[in-house]
Amino acid sequence: MSEFSGPHDMDDTTRKDDRYVLRLFVTGASTNSVRAISNIKQICEEYIPDRYSLEIIDVYQQKKIAESEQIIALPLLIKSFPLPERRFIGDMSDTNRVLKGLGLS
Amino acid sequence: MSLNFSRDPGEMVKLLPKSPTGIVGLDKITEGGIPKDRPTLICGGAGCGKTLFSMEFIVRGAIEFNEPGVFMAFEEKADELAVNVASLGFDLEKLQAAKLIKLDHVYIERSEIEETGEYDLDGIFIRLGHAIDSIGAKRVVLDTIENLFSSLNNQAIIRAELRRLFQWLKEKKVTTIITGEKGDGTFTRHGLEEYVSDCVILLDHRVTNQISTRLLRVVKYRGSVHGTNEYPFLIDRSGISVLPVTSLTLEHEVSTIRVSSGIPALDKMLGGQGFYKGSSVLVSGTAGTGKTSIAGYFANETCNRGERCIFFAFEESPKQIVRNMTSIGINLQDHVKNGLLKFHASRPTLNGLEMHLVAIHQMVEDFKPQTVILDPITNLITVGSVSEVKTMLIRLIDFLQSEQITVMFTALTLNNIVNEQTDEGVSSLVDAWLLVRDIEFNGERNRGMYVMKSRGMKHSNQVREFVISDEGLNLVDVYLGPEGVLTGSARDAQRLQEETGSVLRQHALTMKDMEIDRKRRVLEAKIASLKEEFDSVQDELNKSYIEDELRKEVIEKNREQLIRNRHNEE
């Protein structure tokens, strides 16, 4: 995957130069989904601007993904990079927990 | 105003539709299965068979009732499940490939999850909905959905979502089984019974005296009658089988056909024809009185008629029985080879009583024998109390009688006194009771047999001596004499003595005859001599008489002469 950042991309001033690969699973335009999208966008913009990719997936549109990704609770945010993989459920309103989980606190 | 209220109530009342589980016996207890299109809760402790139970529901549904099913596992992985149930002969891979079954393993790792606010369980809804739609499922199993409680923190959300899930499943028109771990004082640890109120089935795995019994109970079944007892069930190669309630009414068919016991002399004691077909026979006696031999004869006779027989041995191995029976001249091995005779040997401690009953049921259903032998029932007491054994035997007898199968029990009595309360209390249940007992006398032990009872037929009231020899079993009339009942060598001695007596008497008789003859001859000689004497006296008498006559004649003549002469002279 292109997420593996080459040396030329590296910002020497900081170790925290990893690109974040995030996927957010939502269910249509439900309240929780809408809130989760806006919350995570805000957090990313504030703490890791320009070094994240956020994919938003509507599970209703791709039902098969629910089984393959072991989705139970929604909204679900999966941080697949940097390792370790972490999962967040909920509307991302608890900013501290999100940051802790992302390793940004 | 054409409403008609006088219709048959049966027409108006819409009965609760049911979905058959395909599990032997359960559908009988629930009169048709679990509620269709509704959730049913199956709860029980660890290892009581919940998963297997629900899996069988899905598999049987797919195979037998053409109702595809979704199995959502929260505990075991799909491939683990497939391996686990393969031992029951369920090929999940094949069924999945045929789109009859869909397995979905729901995996939640608590440590990987961060809860960051409000959420719902739409993921499950979507997964389940997709699975149901993809195969057109009619059945769903959630095993064990309670795992959610340990994986997620927000209990309020889970509860609300579960309520919504069950409602949604009803709307989806799928028959659902939800499994739940038994909690303290509640059916499930997290109170699932609150949400699933239509049907609750409790499974139990109980160990008493180191012997385990699996039990099933329908705790609740809204809108339907159901059996309320605890029913034992068995998990074996063919899956789960619940022992259906045996009819508690006494309505089974009876037969007037008689079957021979294999011992002609015994048949003679039983009105000349033997037992009734479909009756129950108890053979009781002390150790070593030949109970098993009688049973072996009966089995042999059954097979000789070309009928099938199952021999449940609780004490000896089949080979041992076959060997021992050849010593009294019957060959059971041939019948085994011909498939007419089947041995099933197990120690009573192998299972609980109920399990034995289930096992017997199953074998009888499979083999369809005309005769069943249980040898001996006494050993069952090691795994249950007297009353338990009795109820088990009642149910067994009920079952066998309804199938018109003749059953012979053997039972060991521990003392020589004929005890009316003996034999696990089954003596009142059975139709015929043969008692074999020791007669210890004159320094030897002999066997006596009598018919304690035999319902519905004339039977001998006599004690017969029961002789086991190389030629087989036989019954001999005992000697009844002034000294009482004699058996064995005493009987032989008595017979010899009688023979001697008769010879002596014969001898004495001839001696007397000769004496009489001699006496008679003496007498006859005496009579002859007296007669001679009489004759001579008579002759003597006659002689003088004739002389007198002659003299008289001569005198007369002379006188006439004289007269004539005188006249002439004148």
B144 upstream amide cis, omega within 30 of 0: yes
Q: Which residue from A72, A85, A88 is facing B123, i.e. has the nearest CB? A: A72
CA pair distance B448, B285, nearest whole angstrom = 10
* CB of B392 closer than 8 Å to CB of B354: yes
Closest CA to A87 of A37, A104, B118, A74: A74
Could you give the 3-state DSSP secondary structure of residue B2? Answer: coil
CA pair distance B108, B150, nearest whole angstrom = 10
User: What value does the mean pLDDT of chain B take?
Assistant: 83
Cβ of residue B156 closer than 8 Å to a chain A Cβ: no
Mean pLDDT for the stretch of residues B294-323: 89
User: Tokens 């139709």 identify what position?
Assistant: B431
Cβ of residue B153 closer than 8 Å to a chain A Cβ: no
Same domain, B270 and B237: no
Token digits for B414? 């521990």
Domain that holds residue B283: 258-477
* CB of B433 closer than 8 Å to CB of B453: yes
Phi first, then psi, for residue B40 (nearest 5°) are -120, 135
Same domain, B451 and B392: yes
User: Do A70 and B122 count as a contact with CB atoms less than 8 A apart?
Assistant: no
Same domain, B310 and B341: yes
pLDDT per residue as tens digits for the range B507-521: 888 999 999 999 999
Same domain, B501 and B458: no
* Domain finish residue from B459, B477, B495: B477
User: Do A74 and B131 count as a contact with CB atoms less than 8 A apart?
Assistant: no
3-state secondary structure B156-214: HHHHHHHHHHHHHHHHCCCEEEEEEECCCCCCCCCCHHHCCCCEEEEEEEEEECCEEEE
Q: Is residue B249 part of a domain?
A: no
How many domains is chain A built from?
Answer: 1
Q: Is residue A91 part of a domain?
A: yes
Closest CA to A90 of B152, B145, B130: B152
The Cα of B49 is separated from the nearest Cα of chain A by a number of Å equal to 26
**Residue type at B289 in one-letter notation:** T
Same domain, B42 and B153: yes
Predicted confidence band at B1 (pLDDT cuts at 50, 70, 90)?
A: very low
Same domain, B461 and B507: no
Predicted confidence band at B563 (pLDDT cuts at 50, 70, 90)?
A: confident
Share of chain B above pLDDT 70, in %: 92
Q: Is residue B568 part of a domain?
A: no
Q: Which residue from A30, A39, A72 is facing B108, i.e. has the nearest CB? A: A72
Which residues on A lie below 8 Å from B148 (Cβ)? 72
Helix ranges restricted to H, B48-91: 50-64, 78-86
Cβ of residue A57 closer than 8 Å to a chain B Cβ: no
User: Do B123 and A85 count as a contact with CB atoms less than 8 A apart?
Assistant: no
Same domain, B341 and B266: yes
Closest CA to B466 of B492, B448, B439: B448
Same domain, B333 and B302: yes
User: Do A89 and B124 count as a contact with CB atoms less than 8 A apart?
Assistant: no
Q: Is residue B91 part of a domain?
A: yes
CA pair distance B88, B364, nearest whole angstrom = 20
| CATH code: domain of residue B94 | 3.40.50.300
Same domain, B494 and B453: no
Predicted confidence band at B244 (pLDDT cuts at 50, 70, 90)?
A: low
Same domain, B319 and B447: yes
pLDDT per residue as tens digits for the range B143-189: 888 888 888 888 888 888 889 999 999 999 999 999 988 888 778 88
The Cα of A8 is separated from the nearest Cα of chain B by a number of Å equal to 32
Q: Is residue B385 part of a domain?
A: yes
**Residue type at B566 in one-letter notation:** R
CA distances (Å), B343 to each of B6, B28, B319, B359, B360, in order? 60, 29, 9, 13, 11
Cα-atom radius of gyration of chain B, to the nearest Å? 46
Q: How many C-beta atoms lie closer than 10 Å to residue B483's C-beta?
A: 10
- pLDDT, residue B2, reads 45
Q: Is residue A12 part of a domain?
A: no
The Cα of A4 is separated from the nearest Cα of chain B by a number of Å equal to 23
Stated as kind and residue range, the H or E segment containing B41 is strand B39-44
Checking if the pLDDT of B36 tops 50, the result is yes
pLDDT per residue as tens digits for the range B456-486: 888 888 788 888 887 777 887 777 766 666 7
CA pair distance B92, B100, nearest whole angstrom = 9
Same domain, B507 and B422: no
